[in-house]
C-alpha cells in the first residue's frame, strides 16, 4: 500500500528561529517577546529566564549584568540595581545585599544608579 503525502510548496511553509529577546515553547506560530526582568540571550530560546539576584536585566536580548560596586539587587526579575543606603556598602559586583559599614569606618552612598527603573 502506498501512502500519499501532499506536496508542500516552499512558499507555503516557513520555519524561522526566534530572535534573542523572544521565545517559543513549541507548537507556536509566533515568537513571544520576553517580559521586563527576564531574558533570552540567544536565538531559538524555548523560554525567557528570570534575571537572578545580584544582577540586572535592562535588556531582554542580553545576558544579565552583575550589579556594579556600591549597588545590589535582592530580588529576581529586576531591570535595575539599587544603591546601598548610607552606612552600608557593597564591595563586590553582583551583590544581593549590602553589608553594614564596619566599626571605625564611615560608608557614604556614592554609587550612581546604573539604570533607571521605569
**Which of 39 and 118 is assigned the larger pLDDT?**
39
Across 1-118, the runs of DSSP E, i.e. the strands, are 22-23, 32-33, 38-39, 49-50, 55-56, 65-66, 71-72, 82-83, 88-89, 99-100
Judge whether residue 95 has pLDDT over 90: yes
Judge whether residue 30 has pLDDT over 50: yes
Predicted structure pTM score: 0.78
Confidence at residue 117, expressed as pLDDT on a 0 to 100 scale: 46
3-state secondary structure of 11: helix
Confidence at residue 26, expressed as pLDDT on a 0 to 100 scale: 86
Amino acid at each position: 500500500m502506498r501512502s500519499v503525502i501532499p506536496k508542500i510548496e516552499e512558499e507555503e511553509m516557513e520555519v524561522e528561529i526566534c530572535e534573542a529577546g523572544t521565545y517559543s515553547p513549541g507548537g507556536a506560530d509566533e515568537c513571544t517577546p520576553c517580559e521586563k526582568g527576564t531574558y533570552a540571550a540567544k536565538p531559538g530560546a524555548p523560554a525567557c529566564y528570570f534575571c537572578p539576584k545580584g544582577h540586572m536585566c535592562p535588556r531582554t536580548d542580553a545576558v544579565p549584568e552583575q550589579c556594579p560596586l556600591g549597588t545590589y539587587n535582592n530580588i529576581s526579575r529586576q531591570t535595575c540595581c539599587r544603591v546601598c543606603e548610607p552606612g552600608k556598602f557593597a564591595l563586590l559586583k553582583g551583590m544581593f545585599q549590602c553589608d553594614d559599614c564596619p566599626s571605625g569606618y564611615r560608608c557614604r552612598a556614592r554609587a550612581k544608579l546604573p539604570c533607571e527603573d521605569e
